[in-house]
Structure 1
Amino acid sequence: MGKRKRQAMEEEEAIDQPGVIKMPQKRHYRQRAHANVFSDHALEYPTSPADMDWTVHYPELNGRKPEFADVGCGFGGLLVALGPLFPDTLILGMEIRTQVTQYVEDRIAALRAQPEQTAPGGYKNISVIRANAMKFLPNFFDKHQLSKLFFLFPDPHFKARKHKARIISSTLLAEYAYVLRPGGVVYTITDVRDLHEWMVKHFDEFPLFERMDEDVLEKEGHGDVVQAVRTATEEGKKVERNSGDKFLACYRRLPDPI
């Protein structure tokens, strides 16, 4: 029996023990790796940020709004990693795939229900929403609402005719700059060199972003976040298992021109 199969069986035995909250299993949430962002996915979204009811996502809202957004959050690895690191910050995952979104919802619910929860914040500060960020990001967030934006292992869209579907483009950067406050940080990572160079080129050419070197990120206290960006997601772990490369690029949101 292979190591991973044996580990999965041990996990199944563990979660069936009395008093143990059952965590969702990915194999019950099968879906394609990517979705067509230009299709009509019958999504629900507010007409403006003022119409967004965040109380259904965060049980202890206290008048706050999300400040971190993980666009294309996948199975929620980054959310789970960052939740305890920033217990006083609301963190939102945005995912377009129905089954994957449901998995993250169930994962968060199970984490919140764990007995004797010791993680700071008890995961009450993380949530997920099914959304197409390429179309509706400004419908959810006010101007300068966010302090961190994450684009981790996005769909490379290898064919040239598909490049218009890439999550980073000149038009979309204007929207990201709108919702991100001055001083906020965008984190990008991929295992595809061509996509990395594409993202870097577009950010470098956009006047409201400047690249941050890794030593600057470390000096300014972003080290734990960068570590989570590298290792917390399912894609990041897969790349590590395959001894692949990870290309990181982070950008600071500059002040608006006077």
Structure 2
Amino acid sequence: MAEPLNKKQKRAHYRQAQKENGISQLPRKKFYRQRAHANVFSDHHLVYPKTPDHMDWSTYFPAYVPDAGPIITSQPTETSLPDTANLYPKKLTKEVEVVDIGCGFGGLLVALAPALPNTLLLGMEIRTSVAEYVQHRIAALRTQNPATDLYQNIGCLRANTMKFLPNFFRKGQLTKAFICFPDPHFKHRKHKARIVSTTLNSEYAYVLRPGGIVYTITDVEDLHHWMVQHLEAHPSFERISEEEQDADPCVEIMKTETEESKKVERNKGQKFIALFRRLEDPPW
């Protein structure tokens, strides 16, 4: 008599069956277990393009490939990149304009997809199992909505944005960047791993076009003050007023649709929000 499968074997069996049988049902989180944190300074054996022109987006947004033919519902994994790492792939009919940095389980992407139907949105997540969950979630949603273009405008890839953001996006490409409930890294010696910093803010300024917006939200007040302090101190950003912030429909989605925001709501916690606009570069 065969021994019962342990939890790790059950997860591997479930995910393999998902790949082999086609993904038509929404994935179950318990089969995509992952540590809450990842060391952003480790190598992680990530694959990334040499430049934005080397990035092949066709497998992430197949509906936007010129003369693409039938729409593909599957989502690639990080192993999709090596085959095209040194080629100049076919351009999409649209460019990615919105990025969710550390997208978690994809709640924001899925909620923004119908709200921004003519915009390509990308989630970037460093944790392997979590990124795979989002990819399977998107594939299932596309399969469940075959008669529409719904969810064709969102994709997810595994990436370390602290190291490789400019490898994926050219200067001034993005209109929005979301930083939702990032790891607070409470210990002082870990502050260098925070996703908002003087150095990283310059990279956000590089990939955002003038007028583009950085959206931040957290339930940790100290981290909120940290992000506000560092973004306000950067010459390429100005804070958006609360009146304009409250009028932005993306803010309400960010406050209510991410998995972390729902958790904070259940725990009756506070949410601290700040938006920053990318300024025009000063004349030389």
Q: CA deviation at 1:65?
A: 1.4
Aligned pair in 2 of structure 1 residues 212, 115: CA closer, same or farther (>3 Å)?
A: closer
Aligned pair in 2 of structure 1 residues 42, 210: CA closer, same or farther (>3 Å)?
A: same
Instruction: Find the partner of 1:76 among 106, 109, 129.
Output: 106
Instruction: Find the partner of 1:25 among 28, 43, 62.
Output: 28
Instruction: Find the partner of 1:137 among 157, 165, 189.
Output: 165
- Which structure 1 segments of 5+ residues have no match? 1-19
Instruction: Find the partner of 2:254 among 212, 229, 242.
Output: 229
Q: Deviations over 1:21-57 (max 9, x none)?
A: 4110000000011101001100010000010011110
AA partner of residue 72 (structure 1): G
Is 1:239 paired with 2:264? Answer: yes
Structure-1 separation of matches of 2:95 and 2:145: 27
TM (normalized to structure 2)? 0.80
Q: Deviations over 1:162-186 (max 9, x none)?
A: 0000000000000000000000000
Which segment drifts farther, 22-31 or 53-62? Answer: 53-62
Q: Which residue of 1 aligns with 2:235?
A: 207
Structure-2 separation of matches of 1:188 and 1:69: 12
Q: Which residue of 2 aligns with 1:159?
A: 187
Instruction: Find the partner of 1:41 among 39, 44, 54.
Output: 44
Contact 1:54 1:65 in 2 (8 A): no
- Report the 3-state secondary structure (helix = DSSP H, G, I; strand = E; otherwise coil) of the residue aligned with 2:62: coil
Q: CA deviation at 1:122?
A: 1.2
Structure-1 separation of matches of 2:60 and 2:269: 36
Is 1:217 paired with 2:220? Answer: no
Contact 1:49 1:141 in 2 (8 A): yes
Q: After the TM superposition, list the runs of 4 or more consecutive aligned residues in structure 1 that deviate by more than 2 angstroms.
A: 115-118
Is 1:195 paired with 2:234? Answer: no
Instruction: Find the partner of 1:186 among 206, 214, 232.
Output: 214
- Which structure 2 segments of 5+ residues have no match? 1-22, 65-91
Q: CA deviation at 1:140?
A: 0.1
Q: Which residue of 1 aligns with 2:175?
A: 147
Q: Which residue of 2 aligns with 1:54?
A: 57
Q: CA deviation at 1:217?
A: 2.9
Contact 2:24 2:139 in 1 (8 A): no
State percent identity of aligned pairs.
Answer: 61
Q: Deviations over 1:162-212 (max 9, x none)?
A: 000000000000000000000000000000000000000001100110111
Contact 2:201 2:231 in 1 (8 A): yes
- Report the 3-state secondary structure (helix = DSSP H, G, I; strand = E; otherwise coil) of the residue aligned with 1:122: coil
- Report the 3-state secondary structure (helix = DSSP H, G, I; strand = E; otherwise coil) of the residue aligned with 1:31: coil
AA partner of residue 85 (structure 1): A
Please report the RMSD computed on the Cα atoms of aligned residues, expressed in angstroms: 1.3
- Report the 3-state secondary structure (helix = DSSP H, G, I; strand = E; otherwise coil) of the residue aligned with 1:88: coil
- Report the 3-state secondary structure (helix = DSSP H, G, I; strand = E; otherwise coil) of the residue aligned with 2:100: strand
Q: Deviations over 1:131-151 (max 9, x none)?
A: 000000000000000000000
Q: Which residue of 2 aligns with 1:105?
A: 135
Instruction: Find the partner of 2:93 among 46, 56, 63.
Output: 63
Which segment drifts farther, 132-141 or 204-213? Answer: 204-213
Structure-2 separation of matches of 1:57 and 1:22: 19
Structure-1 separation of matches of 2:204 and 2:238: 14
Q: Which residue of 2 aligns with 1:254?
A: 279
Number of equivalences: 234
AA partner of residue 243 (structure 1): K
AA partner of residue 146 (structure 1): L
TM (normalized to structure 1)? 0.88
